[in-house]
Homo-oligomer: A and B are copies of this chain.
């Protein structure tokens, strides 16, 4: 045994995303020459990332070691675990492994990106054993807010490296599939060298509670509603959508599905057998008028207050086919993700003004998909890992998870609170920090991946605050004379019609600066430009206390 461990290759574990943040999960197990990538998520841009569409992990290290990457192994089909694939696979065309529903949703995504033909996908189940010579990859079923979620185990001669994926412990799961305790016990008895576990709810005491409890409340709401029911949920929460279909069936209601992602997920999930929908229970929007109000359920996207989603359009009276009525019951079956509180509150306000009955926070129409403290401790107790790395969460959640691990007996020096890119290396069953691989945010704006940096973001920030002022002048270099201009044009600075005088004065000022420079025969355009910029900047700040971006342009003839 000792000999074997001494001969065994080094193992490195690190995160390229998902720690110190919520989103873009990507964990890497590098075992000898083989690299196993676990998940490939995206993150939605933070406030200060103006104009950015999404954020993905920096995969420089993986691209540099492309030939060693055995594949991307997926835990489940949420955007923060699979959303980076369309961008990442372009630079890193490796096989993708996932369970049935996960692959179903991934394949739809790859099709949209034109990558479905070039990408090798491999269907796995909780029973699969993937053999990579010295290393094996296995899976175990977990409970989360999307079906077919799994944890992943990489078996190495030094022991097993386990990533739980997102999980809670649901004692009454909607699909009847419990957390795979047997497999977890097996891993534990083999010896878990290192556990990576979900920290999202590490600050929350107790147990999270079963998705089924939401079902009881949905049943009540459906039974009480006097008119139509409009219910918003995450499209990907297939369990909740199942409960909505079940409640509709019990109360003899028909369901209208609206919102692009909702239509897509319901299609795929029911095709693959993850949604049990009764025949004739879904109707089209056009058929709504054939039924009494109290027989209609409208299932929609937009539970996070997303501006372009169907619920938001209804609230703003901008939905082409659905107008909220005061007899409607509107249910937001989700809680706002941190950062979305204001936009959700705004939608709720608009909905309430229609006179509809709006049900959100005050009734139990949502539970989290992530385990709370007692569940996280259970996972730690079952796995009995030698080393522990809290992942999937902000720093404070990692710290809280560290405390839980200490409580169940993990040694303090065996817990690693990592930053993105920080490497923990295992040799002969012993771990230490050994350095860093490149890691960070890659910003996606339109077709550009990673071409937006700090300079562009700083300019967008400046432009968003006080706008821009362009000053153009045509100068003859030969005669040192102004041929045309200066002309001043502004955007986002002042309302031009009410500020004519200000802009005329500014023009006069620039003209004086230019005249003086021409007389002094200044030939250095850059100092001419900075003269124009400085004098304008001072003048405008003095008059308005605003600092627009000033862009002097000299046209030379």
Identify the A interface with B (CB < 8 A). Answer: 20, 46-47, 50-51, 203, 338-339, 341-342, 345, 348-349, 352-353, 358, 362, 394-396, 399, 445-448, 451-453, 455-457, 459-468, 470, 472-474, 483-485, 487, 489, 491-495, 498-499, 543-546, 549, 551, 553, 555-557
| Candidates B46, B342, B352, B549; contact of A395 at CB < 8 Å | B352
Shortest distance from the beta carbon of A389 to any chain B beta carbon, whole Å: 17
Shortest distance from the beta carbon of A537 to any chain B beta carbon, whole Å: 13
Is there contact, CB below 8 Å, between B459 and A492? yes
Shortest distance from the beta carbon of A402 to any chain B beta carbon, whole Å: 11
Shortest distance from the beta carbon of A350 to any chain B beta carbon, whole Å: 8
Is there contact, CB below 8 Å, between B557 and A484? yes
Shortest distance from the beta carbon of A397 to any chain B beta carbon, whole Å: 10
Residue of B nearest to A541 (CB): B446
B residues less than 8 Å from A473 (CB atoms): 555
5 closest A-B pairs (Cβ-Cβ)?
A446-B545, A464-B464, A463-B463, A459-B492, A51-B465
Is there contact, CB below 8 Å, between B338 and A339? no
Q: A396-B352, A472-B472, A545-B447 are in contact. Are A338 and B341 (CB under 8 A)?
A: yes
Compute how far the CA of A353 lies from the CA of B399 in the bound complex, rounded to whole angstroms: 10
Shortest distance from the beta carbon of A218 to any chain B beta carbon, whole Å: 21
Shortest distance from the beta carbon of A381 to any chain B beta carbon, whole Å: 24
B residues less than 8 Å from A46 (CB atoms): 342
Is there contact, CB below 8 Å, between B396 and A348? yes
B residues less than 8 Å from A498 (CB atoms): 451
Compute how far the CA of A493 lies from the CA of B543 in the bound complex, rounded to whole angstroms: 29
Shortest distance from the beta carbon of A404 to any chain B beta carbon, whole Å: 14
Residue of B nearest to A549 (CB): B491
Is there contact, CB below 8 Å, between A446 and B483? no
Q: A396-B348, A549-B491, A555-B555 are in contact. Are A467 and B474 (CB under 8 A)?
A: no
The A contact surface, by secondary structure, is mixed
Q: A338-B342, A394-B345 are in contact. Are A491 and B465 (CB under 8 A)?
A: no
Residue of B nearest to A485 (CB): B555
B residues less than 8 Å from A341 (CB atoms): 338-339, 341
Is there contact, CB below 8 Å, between A465 and B545? no
| Candidates B47, B399, B491; contact of A463 at CB < 8 Å | B491
Residue of B nearest to A498 (CB): B451
For the complex with contacts A352-B399, A451-B499, A463-B464, 14 further pairs of A-B residues with Cβ separation under 8 Å are A50-B464, A203-B362, A339-B341, A339-B342, A341-B341, A446-B545, A456-B467, A460-B463, A460-B465, A460-B492, A463-B468, A464-B464, A470-B551, A483-B557
Q: A349-B396, A484-B557, A551-B470 are in contact. Are A448 and B342 (CB under 8 A)?
A: no
Is there contact, CB below 8 Å, between B553 and A472? yes
B residues less than 8 Å from A452 (CB atoms): 494-495
B residues less than 8 Å from A462 (CB atoms): 492
B residues less than 8 Å from A556 (CB atoms): 484
Shortest distance from the beta carbon of A78 to any chain B beta carbon, whole Å: 20
Residue of B nearest to A358 (CB): B396
Is there contact, CB below 8 Å, between B463 and A467? yes
Q: A345-B394, A543-B447 are in contact. Are A491 and B464 (CB under 8 A)?
A: no
Is there contact, CB below 8 Å, between B472 and A467? no
Is there contact, CB below 8 Å, between A495 and B544? no
Shortest distance from the beta carbon of A550 to any chain B beta carbon, whole Å: 11
Q: A396-B349, A466-B51, A544-B447 are in contact. Are A495 and B459 (CB under 8 A)?
A: no
Residue of B nearest to A395 (CB): B349
B residues less than 8 Å from A467 (CB atoms): 51, 456, 459-460, 463
Q: List 28 A-B contacts (CB under 8 A).
A: A50-B465, A51-B464, A51-B467, A51-B492, A51-B546, A203-B362, A349-B395, A349-B396, A352-B399, A446-B466, A446-B544, A446-B546, A447-B543, A451-B498, A451-B499, A452-B494, A452-B495, A456-B467, A456-B495, A459-B491, A463-B491, A464-B464, A468-B468, A468-B491, A472-B555, A487-B553, A487-B555, A491-B549
